[in-house]
Every structure is written in structure tokens, then in C-alpha cells.
Amino acid sequence: MRKFIATFIALIISISAVAHDDRDHSNKDKKAIVDVIKSIKYGWENGDGLPFRRNFLDFEGARYIEGGGQNAGLDSLVEHHVEPEKDALEYLKLSFSEIEVHFEGEDKSFAWAIADTRIKGKVNKSGKTFDKKGFQTFLFRKVNGNWKVVHTHSSSRDNK
């Protein structure tokens, strides 16, 4: 009887340890993805391409969609979109809220994250300000232990 109880307790402890490990792992991965999203926010707000080059997986066929248009490939995104905004805009404030992260696949090496967005800025040339709200989708793959963005899609409308 004692042996049975001891085995039962050991089983319960090992099951809860595995569950705890899984939770820790998932929390760690979620934090890593949220950190990538924060660095993307920093990149957009400061016209800095480095966070994109660090966190995006550059591959043939990569597409990043925003405002009805798209950039094909990481170089195009950084050189034709992110960096020019530094000169074109007096300021840009971007916020991601209600971030949801979904992990997929047996090894949880694919994730998609969605968020509500708010974008405010001022155009240098015209002096016009804008205030938009919308949605953002990020797709990620875990490559050599690091989460890399493989696709983004952003859409927004005037905040009335």
C-alpha cells in the first residue's frame, strides 16, 4: 500500500513538473515574441532598420503588407519604407495593444500574433497630422532557438 502511495505521489509530482515546464516554456516564448514586437515598434518610430534586420527572416518571397500596399523582401521594407519615414515624418507614435499569441505545430515552432494598433504622426512636408487605428498580424517561425518574423500585415483606418 505504501509503495502504491509513494508511486502515486511521484507520478503526480512528475506530471505537475512537466506542466510547469510547459507553462514556463510557453511564457518564455510569449515574452520573446512580445519583445520582438516591441523592437519593431521602436524601429518604426525611429526609422531604424536594425530591429527589422535582426528579427525578420529574410527569404525569397517574403511579403510585408501595410495600408493596401506591400514590400517584397526585407531590403525593400527597410530601405523603401522604414528608413525613409525618419525624414518624411516629424514624429510617429505606434502602439500595439491586446496582443494575442498563438503557438502552433507539434514542436510549437510556428506562432502567429495579432494586435490592435494605433498610429499617430505628423508629415513634415504638409504639416498634416494623422491618427489611425487598426489591426496587425505577425507570423513567426522559431529558427535556431530565435523567433523570426516571416510575414506582417497591417491595416488601419482614420480614428474618428
Among 30, 34, 109, 120, binds another protein (CB under 8 A): 109
Question: Measured from the CB atom, is 85 or 116 closer to another protein?
Answer: 116
Query: With respect to another protein, which residue has the nearer C-beta, 34 or 65?
Result: 65
Please select the residue that binds another protein; options are 32, 57, 89, 99, rule is CB under 8 A: 57
Stretch that binds another protein, among 35-43, 64-72, 76-84, 87-95 (CB under 8 A): 64-72
Q: How far apart, in whole angstroms, are the C-alpha atoms of residue 64 and residue 82?
A: 12
User: Cβ 59 to another protein, closest distance in Å?
Assistant: 7
Restricted to residues 67-86, the positions that interact with another protein (CB under 8 A) are: 67-68, 70
Task: Give the torsion sign (CA, 95, 146, 46, 112).
Answer: negative
Please report whether residue 114 would count as binding another protein according to CB under 8 A.
yes
Q: How many CA atoms lie within 13 A of 57 on its CB side?
A: 20
Collapse the DSSP code of 75 into the 3-class scheme (helix H, G, I; strand E, B; otherwise coil) and give the result: helix
3-state secondary structure of 105: coil
SS3 assignment, position 117: strand
